Amino acid sequence: MEAITAVSSRTVPPDPSIADALGTHHELPTALADLVDNSIDADAANVRIRILTEDDFVTGLLVIDDGRGMDDPGIDAAMALSRRRDYGDTDLGHYGLGLKAASLSQTDTLDVYSRAIGGVPVGRRITKDEPTRVHTLDPAQVGRVLDGPLVRTGGGAPVTGTAVHWTGFHNALTSPDRDERRSWISGLVEDVRDYLGLVFHRIIARGAVEITVDEYDPESAQAGPARKVRALDPLALGITAVHPHRLAGEVGRIPFEFTAVILTDGALNAPGVTASQRLSSAEGGQGLYVYRNDRLLQLGGWNSLTEGGRDYENLRIGINVGDALLDVVRINPEKSGVVLEPEMRRAVHDAVGEEVGTFSDLLASARNTAVAGRRRERRPIRLVEPTRGLDRDVYDAIGDSVEFAEADPIAIRWERMPAGRLVEADIERRVLRLNDRYRHVFSTSTDPEDAPLLKTLVYMLYSRFFEGSFLGAREKREVAAYERIINAALTDELLRRGAEED
């Protein structure tokens, strides 16, 4: 077919409805990390995340830095949806949407106030309803905000720098219970500190930036104590017991290296390891930790390199991605994960190291370490083996945590029983019975492995009664007592839910 020649072209500005798609996958920690990227790219030495609260309701948020600030052309470029600025080789920014996408994912109104060296205050505003309309803010008022208590951070107002101001916060807890709101804010602060401590741990550790978090009450114009974000290395490379394995490979004649660690013993309690275990979606935080310009882009996960699983729970791989690799390692817009193209996955499998050998050898070493660790682990608790009724992952967790008693295994299943009863231990048949009349209260499924939490708790409570072939007088009294308590709880549960017997 003949190639058709283009005879003209025009640039089409984005429709305002683009805001509906901006930052769809952002959560608060990833959104804040995107804003901190901008502060670091602006050479800020200090970044303050300020959570605005009134009566323990979160009403907004600021990210304040002492970077080089912006003038009118600079702030216009930063606020435009259709413009991508030129990034330097060491910049953390990538797509040019971070400020807008991160902010409008969390709030309806974004204000930016800034002052460059020798410049005048400048301010802009965009809203989620009209993200392509940029409002210019009054310079005198912006100056008063930059010099006022809202932006001051201990040492006074920054001479230069930028403040990103969110008015309102979509995901703030609105419970009428003040204790709940207070607890939620405390958890929010810790999640933010831990996430930023992981994402920027290399940059913080070398002293390039200090990040702090505080709360601020606009009514009293008072800020609470600033909490420092500490560097949290998810690979725990600073711990003596951690032995790194370095492998090197090549993709399309572009060389790359990665560092693997198999964590054991005390390293599993390192702050960076425990924080990443909590915040990673991968089991135990296992998998790839991908960095670009020392900024962490992904917290664990295997990206189709291997299926993963409990044998790799303590295997972590840190890999540095330069811009030359961005054709085969694609960064998601939120900078919270990557996609490895097939050629990159093949190159990782082909990578070799002096000590560990190939990537397959590394996986084998992780498996061997995991198996040996399970053998060494003391498991003083003894339970009867469950053979039916629980998912394989739950069964594996039980097997890893306890010793199975020398008794015939038991099944856990739903069976029809008289009304008013939930559990029965059928010692003769080796069955822990749950009353099918109430299955709909605890499960919406007919899967034989449904209601795992209920089944596991009941199993742990009743297991010891199955260790013998019959119940003695004491055991019978205990079973009767358990049944009375559980049945009373069942009645209360049914009343609270307004549930009926099936």
Structural domain count of the chain: 3
In this structure, the answer to whether residues 196 and 259 fall within a common structural domain is no
Q: Is the pLDDT of residue 278 over 60?
A: yes
Average pLDDT in the 443-453 region?
90
In this structure, the answer to whether residues 364 and 391 fall within a common structural domain is no
The reply to whether 314 falls in a domain is yes
In this structure, the answer to whether residues 351 and 459 fall within a common structural domain is no
Average pLDDT in the 470-491 region?
90
Q: Is the pLDDT of residue 139 over 70?
A: yes
**Residues with Cβ < 8 Å from 103, sequence gap 6 or more?**
23, 31, 35, 110, 164, 166
Residue 102, number of CB atoms within 10 A of its CB: 30
> DSSP states of 115-167 as a string?
E-TT---EEEEEESSSTT-PEEPPHHHHHHHHHSTTT--SS-S-SSEEEEEEE
Nearest partner of 274 among 314, 238, 322, judged by Cα: 314
The reply to whether 4 falls in a domain is no
Per residue in 14-68, pLDDT (tens digit) is 655 555 555 567 899 999 999 999 999 999 999 999 999 999 999 999 999 999 9
Picking from 332, 353, 373, the residue at the C-terminal end of a domain is 373
The reply to whether 240 falls in a domain is no
Residues in the chain: 502
pLDDT band at 336 (very low <50, low <70, confident <90, very high): confident
pTM of the model: 0.74
Q: What is the CATH number of the domain that holds 155?
A: 3.30.565.10
Of the chain, the end-to-end C-alpha distance in Å amounts to 68
Express as a percent the part of the chain with pLDDT over 70: 89
Picking from 322, 341, 373, the residue at the C-terminal end of a domain is 373
In this structure, the answer to whether residues 24 and 51 fall within a common structural domain is yes
The reply to whether 254 falls in a domain is yes
Express as a percent the part of the chain with pLDDT over 90: 61
- Do the beta carbons of residue 40 and residue 92 sit within 8 Å? yes
Phi, psi of 30 (to 5 degrees): -70, -35
In this structure, the answer to whether residues 214 and 281 fall within a common structural domain is no
The reply to whether 356 falls in a domain is yes
Q: Where are the alpha helices (DSSP H) in 377-472?
A: 392-401, 439-442, 452-462
Using CA atoms, how far apart are residues 213 and 210, in angstroms rounded to an integer? 10
Nearest partner of 299 among 312, 325, 281, 283, judged by Cα: 281
In this structure, the answer to whether residues 50 and 187 fall within a common structural domain is yes
In this structure, the answer to whether residues 158 and 223 fall within a common structural domain is yes
The reply to whether 233 falls in a domain is no
Using CA atoms, how far apart are residues 114 and 161, in angstroms rounded to an integer? 6
Q: Which residue has the higher pLDDT, 157 or 17?
A: 157
Amino acid at 197: G
The reply to whether 1 falls in a domain is no
The reply to whether 34 falls in a domain is yes
Q: Which domain holds residue 313?
A: 245-373
In this structure, the answer to whether residues 414 and 472 fall within a common structural domain is yes
Picking from 347, 373, 399, the residue at the C-terminal end of a domain is 373
In this structure, the answer to whether residues 346 and 321 fall within a common structural domain is yes
